[in-house]
C-alpha cells in the first residue's frame, strides 16, 4: 500500500525511508542527536553576526536555518544533495525576505562555492552518515570555503567512552545503521576532534550531551507543545511510522550509555 505524505494510510514508505526522513514525515523538525539544546550552545559560541555569510551543510527541514536567519545574516546558503527537505526549508527561508538566501543542490564535498566566502559553516547530523573518506572531504570543503578566522560548527553523534570496546562500537554501528537505514558512523569526542585539527581547524568550544533524540522530554524541548502533539497524532494515525520510531528509540536506548551528541566550534586558520 502506498501513502502520500499527508495521508494517514501506512505502507512500504515508512519501512523504506531513511530514519531522518521518516522522523520528518512524522512531524519531527530537529533531526540531530544533541537536540536544539546543543545547537543553541554551539551558536552561542560561534556567534553568527548580522551581515555575515552563513552556509549550512545538510539543512534538513530548516530548523537550524530558522535560528540562523534570526541573526540577520546578509546571506544564507543551504547545501544539500537530497530533495526531501527542500520544500520545508524553502518555507522557512520565505519567512526572512530581508536575507539573501540560496539552496544549492550539491554534495557538501564539493559545494561549488567560492574560496573564503563564508563566515560561518554549520553541519549537523550529516558527517555521522559519511564514510571516513567523505568525512575528511567535507571537513576540507568547510575549510576551503571559510574565510580566515571563520567558524565551523559541527554537531554529530558521539561514542563513549573514549576507550569503548571496538566490538561494542562495531555492533552498535551495525545495529543503528540497520534500524535507521542509513550508515551511522559515530565517533568518540577525541576522534571528531582529531578530524577537525588534522584539517587545520583550532577547536574553540566543545560540548557533549546525552543522545535523547526520541525521548519524550527531549521531543517536547525540541518540538514544543504543538509540535509534540502533531507527532503524537501522526503516531496514532500511522502505525507503520510509529513502529519505526519506536524501533529507532529502542536501539538508541539499548546503546544509550555509549551514545551522545557532540558539538564543536572550530576556527579556520589559513596558512
Ligand X SMILES: C[S@@+](CC[C@H](N)C(=O)[O-])C[C@H]1O[C@@H](n2cnc3c(N)ncnc32)[C@H](O)[C@@H]1O
Query: Which residues sit at the interface with ligand X, rule CB under 6 A?
Result: 20, 30-32, 57-60, 63, 79-82, 85, 107-108, 124-126, 129
Nearest distance, CB of residue 20 and ligand X, angstroms: 4
Q: Which is nearer to ligand X, 67 or 74 (CB)?
A: 67
Nearest distance, CB of residue 32 and ligand X, angstroms: 3
Nearest distance, CB of residue 31 and ligand X, angstroms: 3
- Give 131-137 contacts, CB < 8 A, sequence gap 24+: 131/183, 131/185, 132/185, 134/109, 135/185, 135/195, 136/195, 136/198, 136/199, 137/109
Nearest distance, CB of residue 93 and ligand X, angstroms: 14
Contact 205, 177 (CB under 8 A): no
| Cell numbers linked to 103 | 539552496
| Cell numbers linked to 194 | 582529531
Q: Which is nearer to ligand X, 24 or 196 (CB)?
A: 24
Residue in the block written with cell 536544539:
36
**Which phi and psi angles does 11 have, rounded to 5°?**
-170, -155
Contacts of 14 (CB under 8 A, 6+ apart): 3, 22, 25, 238, 240, 241, 243, 244
One DSSP character per residue, 116-161 reads T-EEEEEEESSGGGS-HHHHHHHHHHHHHHEEEEEEEEEEEEEESS
Nearest distance, CB of residue 10 and ligand X, angstroms: 22
Q: Which is nearer to ligand X, 57 or 252 (CB)?
A: 57
**Which phi and psi angles does 186 have, rounded to 5°?**
-65, 155
Nearest distance, CB of residue 187 and ligand X, angstroms: 16
| Cell numbers linked to 178 | 540497520
For residue 112, what are the CA distances in angstroms to 59, 97, 108, 194? 17, 24, 9, 26
Nearest distance, CB of residue 25 and ligand X, angstroms: 13
Question: How many residues are recorded in the chain?
Answer: 271
Q: Which is nearer to ligand X, 14 or 107 (CB)?
A: 107
Contact 153, 43 (CB under 8 A): yes
Q: Which is nearer to ligand X, 129 or 176 (CB)?
A: 129
Q: Which is nearer to ligand X, 128 or 161 (CB)?
A: 128
Q: Which is nearer to ligand X, 20 or 185 (CB)?
A: 20
Q: Which is nearer to ligand X, 52 or 107 (CB)?
A: 107
Nearest distance, CB of residue 1 and ligand X, angstroms: 26
Amino acid at each position: 500500500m502506498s501513502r502520500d505524505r499527508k495521508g494517514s494510510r501506512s505502507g512500504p514508505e515508512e519501512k523504506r525511508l531513511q530514519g531522518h526522513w521518516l522522523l520528518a514525515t512524522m512531524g519531527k523538525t530537529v533531526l540531530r542527536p544533541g537536540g536544539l539544546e546543543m545547537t543553541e550552545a554551539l551558536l552561542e559560541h560561534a556567534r553568527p553576526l548580522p551581515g555575515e555569510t552563513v552556509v549550512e551543510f545538510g539543512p534538513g527541514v530548516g530548523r537550524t536555518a530558522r535560528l540562523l536567519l534570526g541573526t540577520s545574516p546578509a546571506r544564507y546558503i543551504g547545501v544539500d544533495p537530497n530533495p526531501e527537505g527542500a520544500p520545508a526549508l524553502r518555507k522557512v527561508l520565505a519567512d526572512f525576505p530581508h536575507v539573501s538566501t540560496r539552496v544549492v543542490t550539491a554534495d557538501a564535498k564539493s559545494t561549488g562555492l567560492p574560496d573564503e566566502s563564508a563566515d560561518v559553516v554549520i553541519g549537523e547530523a550529516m558527517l555521522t552518515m559519511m564514510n571516513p573518506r567523505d568525512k575528511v572531504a567535507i571537513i576540507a570543503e568547510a575549510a576551503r570555503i571559510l574565510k580566515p578566522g571563520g567558524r565551523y560548527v559541527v554537531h554529530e553523534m558521539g561514542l563513549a567512552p573514549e576507550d569503548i570496546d571496538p566490538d561494542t562500537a562495531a555492533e552498535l554501528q551495525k545495529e543503528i545503521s540497520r534500524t535507521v537505514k542509513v550508515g551511522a558512523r559515530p565517533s568518540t569526542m577525541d576522534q571528531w576532534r582529531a578530524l577537525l585539527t588534522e584539517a587545520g581547524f583550532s577547536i574553540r568550544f566543545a560540548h557533549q550531551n546525552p543522545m535523547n533524540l526520541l525521548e519524550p522530554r527531549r521531543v517536547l524541548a525540541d518540538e514544543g507543545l504543538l509540535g509534540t502533539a502533531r507527532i503524537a497524532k501522526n503516531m496514532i494515525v500511522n502505525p507503520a511510522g510509529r513502529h519505526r520510531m519506536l524501533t529507532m528509540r529502542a536501539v538508541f536506548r539499548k546503546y544509550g550509555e555509549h551514545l551522545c551528541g557532540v558539538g564543536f566550534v572550530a576556527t579556520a586558520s589559513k596558512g
